[in-house]
Amino acid sequence: MADWINYIARKKNVSEIEIDILNKKVTPTEVNIQPLIADLEKLKNIIQAELKSCGFEMSFITIAKMRFEIPFNSPNTNPIVYCYPFLEDEKGKIYKPKNRIVEVAYEVNFNPIKKVRYLIMEKINRLVK
């Protein structure tokens, strides 16, 4: 996911992205792309399973979001994405890690268009042979 976040943030010149897991929403809207929302149902199911194992209903959690910061001028060779996840329960209590989560976008020049073209050309080459 870090590759996609880094890619779309740089392409759209957006330094912060927020993903609302429960409502399957990404803001700002110009970065709301399918690869960022594709696995949100899985994340919601993970939250639901954890709550159930602890004896809580899904309605106990009212907000489940991940906020990402993408530093454009990072001195590192690999682009970094900082994640700040948090949950809020029905009483307004917020659950979040003590430290931010740091992810590295593995492909420095990640470009999904080039990847798709490469895969298509590979398939064509296999068919031609």
pLDDT, tens digit, 9 for 90 and up, residues 27-69: 999 999 888 888 899 999 999 999 999 999 999 999 999 999 9
24-28: long-range contacts, CB 8 A cutoff, minimum separation 24? none
Which residues, including other chains, have CB under 8 Å from residue 97's CB and lie 6 or more apart?
Answer: 85
pLDDT single digits (tens) 60-81: 999 999 999 998 766 555 688 9
Asked whether residue 90 carries a pLDDT value surpassing 80, the answer given is: yes
Give me the residue label for tokens 């609302």: 20
- Which candidate, 61, 63, 60, 55, places its Cα nearest to that of 23? 63
Number of domains in the chain: 1
Q: What is the DSSP letter of 103?
A: E
Considering 3-7, 50-54, 74-78, 123-127, the range whose residues carry the highest mean pLDDT is 50-54
Q: What is the mean pLDDT of the chain?
A: 85
Say what the pTM is.
Answer: 0.77
Q: Can you read off the two tokens belonging to residue 93?
A: 């209590």
Q: Which domain holds residue 54?
A: 2-128
Contact indicator for 83, 101 with CB cutoff of 8 Å: yes
